[in-house]
Amino acid sequence: MTMSEKDEELEMLRQRRMQQIQNQMAASGQQEMAMAAQQAEMERRQAEQKDLLRKVLTPEARERLGRIRVAKPEAAAAVEQQILALAVSGRIQHPIDDATLRAILERIMPEKREITITRR
């Protein structure tokens, strides 16, 4: 092999490698765009849910739900999902007040067990 043949082969290898890198970059760019689209869709859904909750809950009920979200996020998420399902199905005629929210919470959250310690 002469020097020019080696240079040509080296240039072909470089071009092939450059094409591979560009293909990988394009694929990763598409993945990033898909992830960004999914993230935007999640944010849009969360904003819609927040807006719907704002419409169907009174300020006092929203405040209580916020306090519950801090203490027990799982319970707050369950309550929110139930309220959203009721709102979407059209079964909520008037805003949910604090007393109604407490009733929903009592149904969703299990009762606390009383623990007593007896010393001998």
* Cα–Cα distance measured from residue 37 to residue 30, given in angstroms and rounded to the nearest whole number: 10
Residue 60 vs residues 65, 67, 72, 86: alpha-carbon distances, Å: 9, 11, 18, 19
The predicted pLDDT at position 98 comes to 93
User: Out of 15-19, 24-28, 102-106, which region has the weakest mean confidence (pLDDT)?
Assistant: 24-28
Residue 96: strand pairing partners: 57
Over residues 22-80, the pLDDT tens digits come to 888 877 777 888 888 899 899 999 999 999 999 999 999 999 999 999 999 999 999 99
Report pTM.
Answer: 0.62
3-state secondary structure 73-95: HHHHHHHHHHHHHHHHHCCCCCC
Residues, the chain: 120
Place of tokens 């805003």: 95
Whether the Cβ atoms of residue 52 and residue 84 lie closer than 8 Å to each other: yes
Q: What are the structural domain ranges in the chain?
A: 1-42, 57-108
Of all residues in the chain, what percent carry a pLDDT higher than 70?
97
The predicted pLDDT at position 35 comes to 86
The predicted pLDDT at position 1 comes to 61
- pLDDT band of residue 2 (cuts 50, 70, 90) is low
94 CB-contact burial (10 Å; exposed 0-12 / middle 13-18 / buried 19+): exposed
